Amino acid sequence: MKKVSLLAQTFLMAILLVGCQFSEDIHINEDGSGKISFNFDGSEIMQIAGDKVTEGAEKEKVIDSTLIFKDFLEEKKDSIAKLSTEEQEKLKKLENFKMHMLMNPQSKEMKFDLYSEFKRVEELGDVFNSFKTASTIGNQNKITPPGDPTVSSEGEDPTRVLYTYDKSTFKRVTEILDKEKLKKGLDSLEQMKMFLASSKYKINYHFPKKIKKISAEKAMFSQDGKSFTLEVGFLEYMEDPTVLDVEVELEK
């Protein structure tokens, strides 16, 4: 599935390049259901690198495509059946996701939106690492962005992100599974640090009730007090994946 391979490789490699703006948005309803989306704007990459970023694609061709993961998983079910139970469970979590990709060499746009609805926050698991597993199946090879500290050379993720919500407290927690593998990934970023300086990672979380207390001192609140935004440098995030961990207590 060439389209899956192109979407996956471009998305995963682009987030490691200069001028990235990456955001994670969650909207939670009163009953605990909601929506999640991961948005990436790499238009600055297109401005600087142009065709080099889209190498392998048809030059000057506009790509405006939506990938439905349910269809993708059905198409690749034979390959998926050969994976470990853990890897299959990762992919199962992507079943309700869709990904929209826009790449326009003429207007120098590069945007991705990975999104889904959920019934319970806990269903989300580590969505981004699950997506990496899907990209592996799409390309039939393990796709590892150069210097990505969230995946080891062996393809095992040294970190994972978990979400919990019980209608009064929300938590985003990053678990460091292997510090040594994480450090190796960071070491490979040394030559890229100056290019990553302007990249940002932002989380935007929206709740059905007003926020009473939050663990993140730098969080910015909305006027109605039901939402907050927390932004860090992307390099800072990669050096310490727990920097975006947050605990939110809501009013009763």
What is the arrangement of strands in the sheet containing 246-250, beginning at the earlier edge strand? 159-165, 169-176, 246-250, 211-214
Count of domains for the chain: 1
pLDDT tens for 118-163 read 999 988 877 767 766 666 665 543 333 333 444 433 456 788 899 9
The Cα angle at residue 98 between residues 226 and 161, in degrees rounded to 5: 55
Cα–Cα distances in angstroms (integers) from residue 119 to residues 97, 123, 128, 171, in the given order = 13, 7, 18, 16
- C-beta separation of 172 from 203 below 8 A: yes
Q: Is residue 71 classed as helix, strand or coil in its secondary structure?
A: helix
pLDDT at 17 over 60: no
Q: How confident is the model at residue 186 (pLDDT cuts 50, 70, 90)?
A: confident
- Secondary structure tally for the chain: helices H, strands E: 9, 12
DSSP state of 58: P
Domain that holds residue 133: 2-250
The predicted model scores a pTM of: 0.79
Question: Which residues are CB-neighbours of 232 under 8 A, at least 6 positions away?
Answer: 200, 201, 202, 218, 243, 244
Q: How confident is the model at residue 57 (pLDDT cuts 50, 70, 90)?
A: very low
Please tell me the distance from the alpha carbon of residue 92 to that of residue 61, in angstroms, as a whole number.
Answer: 32
pLDDT at 229 over 50: yes
Please tell me the distance from the alpha carbon of residue 130 to that of residue 90, in angstroms, as a whole number.
Answer: 5
> Which pLDDT score, from 0 to 100, does residue 120 have?
92
Stretch 29-58: mean pLDDT? 72
Retrieve residue 50's tokens.
């142009």
Most confident of 51-65, 135-149, 173-187: 173-187
Retrieve residue 234's tokens.
């992307």
